[in-house]
Structure 1
Amino acid sequence: QILSKEIHKNSISLREKNNINSQISLSARTHLQDAFQGFLEPDVFFESYDNSYLLALILKDQYKNNMLCQKILEERCEYFKKIGLKADNICGNKESLCNQNYVDFIDTSCQKLSQKIITMFNGNSQEHDCNKLQDECLFLEGSCAKSLTEPCNKLKDFCYREKRDQAINTILLAAMRGQLTNENTCESNIKKVCLILARENVELMHKCLWKEATCKNLIKISKKGCTFLKEELENTINLEATEKKCTQLLYSCYLHILNYENDAIANKIKKQCLFLQEKCRKFNNYDILDNYFSLIESEISLVNKISLSKLYDQFALYGVIITKQEGIPDIFYILGLLIQEIILDYRPKDPYEVRCKELLENNCSSFDYMLLELKTECEKINTNTRHSSCKKMRKKLESYCNILKKNLVDKGLALNTNRSGIILYTEILSWYQLKTNTFTTEECMKLQSECYYLQELCPGRLGYPCRNLRALCYKKSYNAALILIFERLLRGNLNKELNSNSSPSLCIISLIEKCKNMKNKNSIYAEKCLYPEEICREIVSAVEMKCSELKNKLLGSNYFQPKECHTLLYQCKELFEDCNSIFKNLCISLRKHCEFLDSAKLLKNLLLAQMDNSLSSQNACEKKLRSICSSIENLKNVFIYQCKNQRRSCEIMLKQILENCFYFNNNFKNSGIAITLENGEITKEECLEWETYCNMLRQNCPENLDEKCNILRNSCSKFGNPPKPTPIPDFEPSSTQSELEPTSKPPPTSTSEHPPTSTSKLPPTSTSEPRPTSPSIKPTSTTEDQDDITKGCGIQQEGFHKKVLICLITGIMLGVWIII
């Protein structure tokens, strides 16, 4: 039996072995993409597909009937001819393909694949290539449903959970940077991380509940990652930098640079990473030392620090959707998750309350810090109420199990239950039987979490229904990622399609052209190219919906916040070529509005650098702006919008100042800097950063910052004089203007929010918000000069290069440090 206890243990062992190797691929060798690229990145010519595998995708279970085989091929080849797809390797030789040799080949291939999977799960094989085996399954499963549905379903379930586990470990690696040198350091620091991350989703909750095992695993992964990083840097340090290699290695530097135990090696790796960062600067990569974080732009939090939402976005691009759960699950779910391990590993027939009692008696120190409810349960250990809590847990879990079973049956993932609530029979569904339109993404996430909590605890057969659920959700998220890839491949070719009532023939023609040059021996790509009408319907529908949603957003408001600007401008760029007739004027208006906000922010930072009270009130601001616009001619040309609209500009800048003051005060309160000051442990770098911000804001915030700034000065005086104000510089204007033009370049795929570093390690402020990883606005231009600008400091503004302005203001800020 596939789900026997022995197979289950072998599967766990295999997962543990795979976890380390897979994580190297994920975090050290090739950043996030490599863990998923085998399924989603083209690299072999379409013409090189094996005829037999292509035929299997077309014929599926009709391959044994020679007459039917030829008929199906005849119909399909006529369609290929009609749409211009050259497929001579199968259409020019139909009679010779539909014969007993082909039948024997498919039968043998299916048997070999089934045996490979069984051998893999028995732990007798060193081959654990999920991508390769899954691809074989997708080629052959339709032909050999009887022999391959069950093992392929199990394989995909295992591989999907592996990918999710890799993603979860990547989050923890980012959160635990510098804390993975040894187990003691890890265990003492992971508690702080888990207090925040355990609330995100069930998988992070599970890792945090068993922090000792999690630390051991993370340290193993980190050590392997450090070794790999060292080797890769030595092998590539003299090679020419490419964007892909830069992204891969710099993120590896970011994750592992602080985790080396040996100081000499750590210093060497740090120098190599910084050298690589300089070589890669032209690709707009981020600060590998993670030194940048604006104290006045956002709240200091772990979630912001590791750019968690951006990580979620990246995982989704590769077919793994992880979302934040709604609220904290009740105590019964969490206790159930804890006793799951005991029940699986020891005596599954023992009553839940006995296992719950053992857990509370022996393991509380591992998890009682995480939630008040857990701490309360642990405190009951010496009272008579202890056992009753576990009894209540069992009744609650039984109720939750019944609800989950009903949902799985209603969705067709399990057959009807008997009067005792036992699922009588569950059919394992093949990839082709999974109907993704029966679930929303939200339903997938919710039911997957329920299965994670309850699958091993519920009486009856929930293993197969939950496997069907995970396979369906995997297919749904995978298809969504695939549609996005094809959508980007066809960008600019869908405009006429969206503005006509014809069938998606234009999309098909464009898709076939892409398929002719596609380089991937991948069953999913091959199937989409063999059946382009299906994927085109989905692509056109997806783009149409995005265009409509964007139009509604743009019509729904006359004012957008800066963060909204970044997102909406990127969407305008992405959809411009296909939807420009729908919302061109709206996007142009948005660009002007966002440029106005951006330049107001630049001016605000310029005024803050003077450390006076020019942003303390509307009157003070307008007075300062009148003085600037009338006396400094070049600056007037730089800030055309602000000088023409002084009242509105001041309103915007004062609103930004209020946000800056709010974040500074919050971060001062919550970052622990006050305790650091009290203990006299503040560093020179911390002093420079906090004092600079404090002195810039102290005369402009509605609340008095004098006390905070004085405390900082008293503690920081040992490092030298306080930061000094910077006069407004003279600017040389430029006459270049920007236009809203399409760009084919996708958003950056880095998973850090940190902007490109400057020659100084610690810029005390930013002229714009930390650069988002996805989406990011990168407008293109019509001149080489403009193209260079989009790779530098920012977009352009009428009459002046924002690149120059941003870099100058950054220089002004850095000048404070140089003076000191």
Structure 2
Amino acid sequence: MALTSHVQSKYANGNPNSATHHSANPPPSGTAWRGRWRGRSSGGLQGHRIALMRSIEQECKEKLKKYCQELNEVNLKIEQVHEKLKDFCDNGKQDKKCQGLQAKVTEKCTNFKTKKLGPALTNPSDDNCKENEQQCLFLEGACPDLVEDCNKLRNKCYQKKRDEIAEKVLLRALSGSLKEKDSCKKKFKEVCSLLSRESDELMMLCFDEEKTCQSIMTKEQYNCESLKNEIKNVLNKKGELQTKCPSLLKKCYFYDADCTGDKPNCKELESNCEEKGITYTKPGSDFEPIRSGITLAEEIELEELYKKAAKKGVHIGRPPTRDAAELLLLLSQSGAGSTVVDKCKNTIQEKCKKFKEHIILKDLCNNQNITDNPEEKCKELDKELTTRASIVSKEIEKYLDIANGKKIISWHMLHTFFSERKCTKLLSDCFYFAQDKGPLNKECDNLKAACYKKGLEAPANEALQDKLRGKLQGSNKAWHESLQKEIVKACEKLKKESDELFVLCLQPKKTAFVVSTDLRFRAIFLREQLDEKRDFPTETDCKELEKKCRILGQDSKEIKWPCLTLNQHCDRLRIAEQLEEKLLEEKTKDLDKFSSCVENLGKWCNDWARRGRTHFTLACVAQNTTCKILTEKVGFKCARLHEHMKTNKVLENVKNNDTRERICTSWEPYCSKFISSCKSLMKANGGECEELNKECKSFIERKELEEKVIDELKGSLKTEKECQDTLKKYCVAWKNATNQLRTLCTGKKKNGKKDDVKKELCEKLVEQVKKRCPGLKKELTEASKELEKKANKYEDIKKEAKEAMEKA
């Protein structure tokens, strides 16, 4: 079919909705999305050709000719890129494909601008954003007069997404306090003191507790209604439980407590999900008394929330800490007045009374000289704004390579080769310093769009790079040609995953440059992180950075040595942890003292060397470093254990028969493990472990016996009756035995019946085994999956090796 007929049917008709299914930036996953891609017609492809060729006939012919030539140069056929482009490169077809495009596209652009884009700018709803951002991607390259309005739309949609994430953070953090405004306001100050610095949007919301509480409470009731309908639907279609239980259970945990009236049926959902083996483990339920208590950010799963947002193109990082002057500038943006000075004066006079206890603003707002006469302070602020705006403007120009920073840059021309950290910093600067109609506005509009673009493109680049590992580094012509072919091969499956991937897959030559350059920048940013953390990494640093080193190291030589240094330090950290466990098991004394550790480690290392034991060689190579790691970790764990025991009133609760079993089971193992190595846990130094061990002695002894009985009765603990029948036989055998197991068979209940002792024991043992089974099943399932992965990896390596040998 000719290009003109495609355009008439999809892009040149009078219906602005006709192209919505062929446009860009959809959600990256989901069955609806995949279905939409399967139904993508050739009209969508023509839209991409239009955007690429800028809809000028002569340029269209030249571009299409060049495009075909580029594919021929690397022995690629156009149908390999996409089957519906099959005849685009046939001789003489370029003229026909490009004929009459300009007039048709101009009409399409005019209709879009007046009928769709204008209303979307007034109401940037989710649907309006999704549909019109896609159309902007197709059309703004062909119609320059769309660039400014498309930039405004994207930035409004992007900011809306960021604001919604901030609201979601507060919804979770204020959970349980959203039925009444007073309870919301009471918890609001505490929550904001901990979370306001996590993003600029959170800082802004935390400035107005009255307005924010009202907004969050309204949003909560909307969430309740939505959750109620979701649960109702999934309970009617139980085939969807497996996929929807995890997300719905999480929503129940965070939202159900504040729902009123006809509440969501969370209890029935929990019951149905449990039957499928799916439960929700609330944050902090894996509490360990030797670690720091759970933070509010961990409690609301902030990191998981931000990772989910990043997959949709919205990266949120922690912005720089701001001072009082900067916060005053931010507050002044909504102040009354036409100038910065007037707005500032209005803000100090009207709002300062609310912030007299604010952690950053209190000094300014409690200064009577400023509050009584704000003129001087506000003039200083105006000068400071001018200076900072100039600095930010130059920095944005540098990173976006803007020749004329006062003009809005087209989406296709925006550079995205800068780090997420730099994006976060500059976006924050814009948030504070880009006043209404101020000098920074255009630069900040460009920056915000570039950061949004970077976020949207990141998953696409990463997905393509994952398929090209080990093939992304090179410089000669043969490598470049080979990479293009590999891209086309990888795109056979990937091009249907998202619009960003689809666009990359249409242009293999350009994409070869994009993905290889993006990888180099990722390596540069990783190098910066390694320079900061490689010499003294934490466990979290090791987990995160070693993974990046493994992935990027396949195609980047410049990170080889920094990654090697990181690996060595992480290995030492792991060996120190293993050594710590060994020494704690052996009840080694004074592990929290550096001098004692150095002295003892020297003796141990000499002994291990003499015996030819090499497992702890790395720990012995740098003994001072090992002892620094070891004593700091042990000291930290002992301090946390001491604090948590005091906070939880462990000694008081262990003396209560109702709580003794729980306390002894949870706390005594830690005391037994650390008491020899930390004097701070001894009674003489204010510690409580000695006394706890005494209180729990009889309980622990009985517990150990019960474990032995579980082992003896294995295979007979499915039911209480089976257990009792087997136990009676064992009790006869144990009657004259020298072990302590016979004590479990003796004794009487208050009613004087000996059999009731056995019955009670069996009830307890069967229940214990039942509780262990799901955990064991989970461990076995995970182990099975891990083995399966390793087996698949082995088969892949074997296949690659075989292919390489055949080629050789």
Where on the TM-score scale, by shorter chain, does this alignment land: which range?
Answer: 0.5 to 0.7
Matched, 1:399 2:390: no
Alpha-carbon distance change, 314 to 708 in structure 1, aligned in 2, over 3 angstroms: farther
Matched, 1:512 2:488: yes
**How much has 1:79 moved relative to structure 2?**
3.7
Equivalence map 1:546-625=2 (5 Å):
562-571=539-548, 574=551, 596=575
Letter in 1 for 2:486: S
Match of 1:338 in 2: 331
Question: Which has the higher relative contact order, 1 or 2, with Cα contacts under 8 A spaced 6 or more apart?
Answer: 1
Contact 1:178 1:258 in 2 (8 A): yes
> In 1, Cα distance between the equivalents of 2:614 and 2:229?
52
**How much has 1:642 moved relative to structure 2?**
8.0
For residues 67-104 of structure 1, what are the alpha-carbon distances to aligned partners after superposition, in whole Å with 9 as ceiling and x for unaligned? Answer: 44334223323444633441453442646863566445
**How much has 1:152 moved relative to structure 2?**
0.4
For residues 708-765 of structure 1, what are the alpha-carbon distances to aligned partners after superposition, in whole Å with 9 as ceiling and x for unaligned? Answer: 6559989x99xx9997487698999xxxxxxxxxxxxxxxxxxxxxxxxx999999xx
Contact 1:332 1:393 in 2 (8 A): no
Please tell me the root mean square deviation across aligned C-alpha atoms, in Å: 5.7
Contact 1:43 1:520 in 2 (8 A): yes
Contact 2:576 2:630 in 1 (8 A): no
Letter in 1 for 2:445: R
Match of 2:20 in 1: none
Secondary structure of the corresponding residue to residue 98 of structure 1: helix
> In 2, Cα distance between the equivalents of 1:605 and 1:68?
75
Match of 1:430 in 2: 410
Letter in 2 for 1:168: A
For residues 252-306 of structure 1, what are the alpha-carbon distances to aligned partners after superposition, in whole Å with 9 as ceiling and x for unaligned? Answer: 34433544457x957x52563475367465xxx9623642333323354334444
Letter in 2 for 1:431: W
Task: Find 1:368's aligned residue among 325, 335, 356.
Answer: 356
> In 2, Cα distance between the equivalents of 1:669 and 1:466?
48
Alpha-carbon distance change, 498 to 322 in structure 1, aligned in 2, over 3 angstroms: same
Matched, 1:450 2:450: no
Letter in 2 for 1:134: E
Matched, 1:92 2:82: no
Alpha-carbon distance change, 157 to 671 in structure 1, aligned in 2, over 3 angstroms: farther
Aligned pairs, number: 670
Say which structure is richer in helix: 2
For residues 368-400 of structure 1, what are the alpha-carbon distances to aligned partners after superposition, in whole Å with 9 as ceiling and x for unaligned? Answer: 33315x2234334xx454233453133223322
Alpha-carbon distance change, 227 to 444 in structure 1, aligned in 2, over 3 angstroms: same
Letter in 2 for 1:207: L
For residues 218-265 of structure 1, what are the alpha-carbon distances to aligned partners after superposition, in whole Å with 9 as ceiling and x for unaligned? Answer: 223333333333333343356457886455334434433544457x95
Task: Find 2:470's aligned residue among 473, 486, 495.
Answer: 495
Contact 2:356 2:366 in 1 (8 A): no
> In 1, Cα distance between the equivalents of 2:521 and 2:637?
37
For residues 594-617 of structure 1, what are the alpha-carbon distances to aligned partners after superposition, in whole Å with 9 as ceiling and x for unaligned? Answer: 775665576678789xxx979788
> In 2, Cα distance between the equivalents of 1:280 and 1:443?
43
Contact 2:52 2:141 in 1 (8 A): yes
Task: Find 2:315's aligned residue among 321, 324, 334.
Answer: 321
Letter in 2 for 1:193: V
Match of 1:212 in 2: 210
Match of 2:251 in 1: 252
Unaligned regions of 5+ residues in structure 1, if any? 1-33, 416-423, 627-638, 733-757, 772-777, 789-820
For residues 162-194 of structure 1, what are the alpha-carbon distances to aligned partners after superposition, in whole Å with 9 as ceiling and x for unaligned? Answer: 122223233333433333333222211121121
Equivalence map 1:628-777=2 (5 Å):
658-659=632-633, 661-663=635-637, 665=639, 673=647, 693=670, 697-704=674-681, 706=683, 710=688, 724=700
Letter in 2 for 1:479: E
Alpha-carbon distance change, 653 to 605 in structure 1, aligned in 2, over 3 angstroms: farther
Matched, 1:116 2:116: yes
Match of 1:531 in 2: 507
Task: Find 2:288's aligned residue among 290, 294, 298.
Answer: 294
> In 1, Cα distance between the equivalents of 2:411 and 2:196?
32
Alpha-carbon distance change, 170 to 504 in structure 1, aligned in 2, over 3 angstroms: farther
**How much has 1:650 moved relative to structure 2?**
14
Contact 2:320 2:425 in 1 (8 A): no
Letter in 2 for 1:665: A
TM-score, with structure 1 as normaliser: 0.65
> In 2, Cα distance between the equivalents of 1:592 and 1:779?
23
> In 2, Cα distance between the equivalents of 1:120 and 1:428?
19
> In 1, Cα distance between the equivalents of 2:785 and 2:193?
46
TM-score, with structure 2 as normaliser: 0.66
Contact 1:134 1:156 in 2 (8 A): yes
Match of 2:3 in 1: none
> In 1, Cα distance between the equivalents of 2:51 and 2:26?
29
Match of 1:29 in 2: none
**How much has 1:214 moved relative to structure 2?**
1.9
**How much has 1:522 moved relative to structure 2?**
5.3
Contact 2:576 2:619 in 1 (8 A): no
Contact 1:62 1:68 in 2 (8 A): yes
Equivalence map 1:295-314=2 (5 Å):
295-298=289-292, 300-306=294-300, 308=302, 311-314=305-308
> In 2, Cα distance between the equivalents of 1:559 and 1:619?
20
The structure having more radius of gyration, on CA atoms, is 2
Secondary structure of the corresponding residue to residue 472 of structure 1: helix
Contact 2:231 2:269 in 1 (8 A): yes
Alpha-carbon distance change, 668 to 701 in structure 1, aligned in 2, over 3 angstroms: closer
Contact 2:537 2:566 in 1 (8 A): no
Alpha-carbon distance change, 759 to 410 in structure 1, aligned in 2, over 3 angstroms: same
> In 2, Cα distance between the equivalents of 1:75 and 1:508?
16
Matched, 1:57 2:48: yes
**How much has 1:524 moved relative to structure 2?**
2.8
Contact 1:315 1:321 in 2 (8 A): yes
> In 2, Cα distance between the equivalents of 1:399 and 1:572?
42
Identity, % of aligned pairs?
Answer: 21
Match of 1:467 in 2: 445
Match of 2:66 in 1: 75
> In 1, Cα distance between the equivalents of 2:283 and 2:496?
36
> In 2, Cα distance between the equivalents of 1:400 and 1:679?
58
Unaligned regions of 5+ residues in structure 2, if any? 1-24, 605-612, 712-766, 793-808
Alpha-carbon distance change, 388 to 590 in structure 1, aligned in 2, over 3 angstroms: closer
Secondary structure of the corresponding residue to residue 202 of structure 2: helix
**How much has 1:436 moved relative to structure 2?**
3.4
> In 2, Cα distance between the equivalents of 1:321 and 1:591?
28
> In 1, Cα distance between the equivalents of 2:37 and 2:171?
38
**How much has 1:211 moved relative to structure 2?**
1.9
> In 2, Cα distance between the equivalents of 1:122 and 1:597?
60
Deviates more, 1:693-702 or 1:36-45: 36-45
> In 2, Cα distance between the equivalents of 1:384 and 1:557?
49
**How much has 1:359 moved relative to structure 2?**
4.2
> In 2, Cα distance between the equivalents of 1:339 and 1:442?
27
